[in-house]
Structure 1
Amino acid sequence: MADVQKIATRVSYGEALVELGAQHDDFVVLDADLAAATQTGKFKAAYPDRFYNVGIAEGHLMSMAAGIATTGHVAFASTFAMFAAGRAFEQVRNSIGYPHLNVKIGATHAGISVGEDGATHQCNEDIALMRTIPGMTVIVPADDVEARAVVRAAYELEGPVYMRFGRLATPVINDPETYSFELGRGMVMREGTDVTIVACGLMVGRALEAAEQLAGEGISAEVINIHTIKPFDDELVIKSASKTGHVVTCEEHSVIGGLGAAVLDALAPTCPVPVRKLGVNDVFGESGPAVDLLDKYGLNAEGVIKAVREVLA
């Protein structure tokens, strides 16, 4: 995939906000002194009167966004995933989730691919945290095309939304001319009969790479992109698992409480098939180049292939 265009979804987030701002004037963007990194600085440059930098105060960021939402405006609150889901969890839960306010959380720099920033900034727990909040929608776009669509969908949806974006530039795997985002509906990216690979975020592209290589070994892998972790597309996953009889889940997140857990929740009552969860195995991250870290933790095509062989065995 060397020739495929690569774009970080955090860049897509910033550019999508600017595009959305030209169409609607009933939303504001807030940031916690990270506008260059989260890419919301682009919105600030275009619409300075609708941008607020609250400083390094993430709890205040979420509380202020909640207050603005009570006035009838939509509020996009942006910071790193570690701070949005971790440091400000109480404010997200009590001030945004509990009253079901129209706040859209743009959480960038999620997962192990934050790289050199190390364990303190590599948030591998945010999906687990956010999906426990009643009424919270959780979305993990796979590429630039999907990320832009997610921002628009979040704006149109009534209620709180958590959007997870990455720092690392990743391949664009969707065609902007044909792509259509539907909240809560997974997408079959490749059909197969032997094993179902369910992925989200940057792992979707790696799952597709793995499926191509597996085909050369005579293994037919179905690849599903679950961009919406909550609400979850139980129907699609159960249908695929019933056909293939084996499932591998792939996520740049802890194996505890994330996509893999959501898949197991869906399958256990009616379709108990063998499942192998690929993710971060209950450890903290470490500093290093993003791609090297993904390789070390098995979050690559080779890791997906290994997991498929294990589940088939």
Structure 2
Amino acid sequence: MSPKKLVSGAMSADIDREGQRTTAAPLGHALLEVAESDERLVGLSADLAKYTDLHVFRDAMPDRFYQVGMAEMALVGAATGLAQEGFIPFASTYSVFATRRAYDFICLDVAERSLNVNMVCALPGLTTGYGPSHQATEDIAILRGMPNMTIVDPCDAIDIVQATPQLAAYDGPTYMRVLRGRVPVVLDEYDYAFELGRAKVVRPGNEVLIVSTGLMTERALDAAKELAGDGIDVSVLHCPTLKPFDTETVLAEIAEDRLVLTAENHTVIGGLFGAVAEAMATRGVTKRIHPVALPDEFLDAGALPTLYDRYGVSTAKIVERVKGLLA
């Protein structure tokens, strides 16, 4: 039998595996639930509601949805005006378009005034094979230096559903990297609940620690299960909030005598690895940390499974990396 061909549509943003438990459009349904109890919540899109899952909200509450067209700066401007009038806007587009095209508007219109504008953006990191024009591999690095900005990188549908009402209630600007379409359900198997600003150990282990964020937490957990079969005990610390960073929890876990890796769906520069290194340097913690991250380069276009392996962020590559470091 020939090996299974690794394929995906280049613009595919569904990251689920065959047979995996998923939730369809968790962001859209979570927004709708919040909106039913809070009439201040409104949705906006830059012509991408269908591809960021806001179509669920749009179709159910058309009078509270605003379509601004392919104009990301106008999207942020409209959200700013709505926030100033007491509404709670959730503005959606692709991560690359928000952070690259509309940065100045987010910075000066939203963040400087610390307005409750929530940017919910799809195609974070390597979740599309469409190439550098759509792969937001540096979005966290772009926004981490922005004062007042809160950054959330959810692992799965559980994270998205639980984070959405907390972002709506938070008094300030937020940015969430949205997983859309059929989103895996992972964290309900663990004693976990999303808490804005907090990192949590979702799997304990004595030999290796993987500090992870976003969809890489699922791969870290899968790698931990596989490594357990070889007698390697792996702990996974999930950091869904990258700013503000839960320095206390992360450094307490790093202090234990274990091999430590970070894992993120983002360039190795300016994301989770950078946040961990900064926290360690500030507190005078000296320990080697091994990053699993996307390289500091523009990535290729192609089928996602192939790209995950090529850039070292697949479950198999995490397993390989851990074994190599322990050898």
Hey, what does 2:247 align to over in structure 1?
Answer: 234
User: CA–CA distance in 1 between the matches of 2:324 and 2:144?
Assistant: 28
1:175 aligns to what SS in structure 2? Answer: helix
Q: Which runs of 5+ in 1 are unaligned?
A: none
Residues 189-240 of structure 1: per-residue CA shift (max 9 Å, x gap): 1111222101111111110111122222332211011000011111111111
Hey, what does 1:4 align to over in structure 2?
Answer: 20
- Shift of residue 26, structure 1, vs aligned partner: 0.6
TM-score between both structures, scaled by the size of structure 2:
0.90
Hey, what does 2:155 align to over in structure 1?
Answer: 142
2:209 aligns to what SS in structure 1? Answer: strand
Which residue, 102, 109, 120 being the options, matches 2:116? 102
1:194 aligns with 2:207: yes
Residues 23-75 of structure 1: per-residue CA shift (max 9 Å, x gap): 11112111001111111111111111111001100011111111111111111
1:118 aligns with 2:131: yes
- Shift of residue 310, structure 1, vs aligned partner: 4.6
What is the number of residues matched between the two proteins? 310
- Shift of residue 170, structure 1, vs aligned partner: 4.8
1:207 aligns with 2:207: no
Which residue, 167, 171, 176 being the options, matches 1:163? 176
Residues 218-264 of structure 1: per-residue CA shift (max 9 Å, x gap): 32211011000011111111111111343111111100000111111
Q: Segments of 4+ in structure 1 off by > 6 A?
A: none
Change in 2 beyond 3 A, CA 1:74/1:200: same
User: CA–CA distance in 1 between the matches of 2:314 and 2:194?
Assistant: 25
Hey, what does 1:71 align to over in structure 2?
Answer: 85
Change in 2 beyond 3 A, CA 1:63/1:29: same
TM-score between both structures, scaled by the size of structure 1:
0.94
User: CA–CA distance in 2 between the matches of 1:229 and 1:62?
Assistant: 22
1:291 aligns with 2:305: yes
Hey, what does 2:101 align to over in structure 1?
Answer: 87
Hey, what does 2:146 align to over in structure 1?
Answer: 133
Work out whether residues 113 and 167 of structure 1, in 8 Å CA contact, stay in contact via their aligned partners in 2.
Answer: no
Change in 2 beyond 3 A, CA 1:66/1:293: same
**Counterpart amino acid of residue 30 in structure 2:** A
**Residues 178-189 of structure 1: matches in 2 within 5 Å?**
179-189=192-202
Q: CA RMSD in A?
A: 1.9
User: CA–CA distance in 2 between the matches of 1:95 and 1:208?
Assistant: 39
User: CA–CA distance in 1 between the matches of 2:18 and 2:74?
Assistant: 42
Hey, what does 1:304 align to over in structure 2?
Answer: 318
- Shift of residue 142, structure 1, vs aligned partner: 0.4
Hey, what does 1:55 align to over in structure 2?
Answer: 69
Hey, what does 2:4 align to over in structure 1?
Answer: none
1:274 aligns with 2:288: yes
User: CA–CA distance in 2 between the matches of 1:12 and 1:113?
Assistant: 17
Hey, what does 1:264 align to over in structure 2?
Answer: 277
Task: Report percent identity of matched pairs.
Answer: 38
1:219 aligns with 2:232: yes
User: CA–CA distance in 1 between the matches of 2:99 and 2:144?
Assistant: 11
Q: Which runs of 5+ in 2 are unaligned?
A: 1-16
- Shift of residue 131, structure 1, vs aligned partner: 1.1
- Shift of residue 179, structure 1, vs aligned partner: 4.3
Change in 2 beyond 3 A, CA 1:310/1:89: farther
Residues 92-114 of structure 1: per-residue CA shift (max 9 Å, x gap): 11111111011000011111121
Hey, what does 2:186 align to over in structure 1?
Answer: 173
Change in 2 beyond 3 A, CA 1:179/1:237: closer
Moved more, 245-254 or 283-292: 283-292
Work out whether residues 142 and 200 of structure 1, in 8 Å CA contact, stay in contact via their aligned partners in 2.
Answer: yes
**Counterpart amino acid of residue 192 in structure 1:** G
- Shift of residue 286, structure 1, vs aligned partner: 2.1
User: CA–CA distance in 2 between the matches of 1:180 and 1:218?
Assistant: 28
Work out whether residues 53 and 180 of structure 2, in 8 Å CA contact, stay in contact via their aligned partners in 1.
Answer: no
Work out whether residues 44 and 79 of structure 2, in 8 Å CA contact, stay in contact via their aligned partners in 1.
Answer: yes
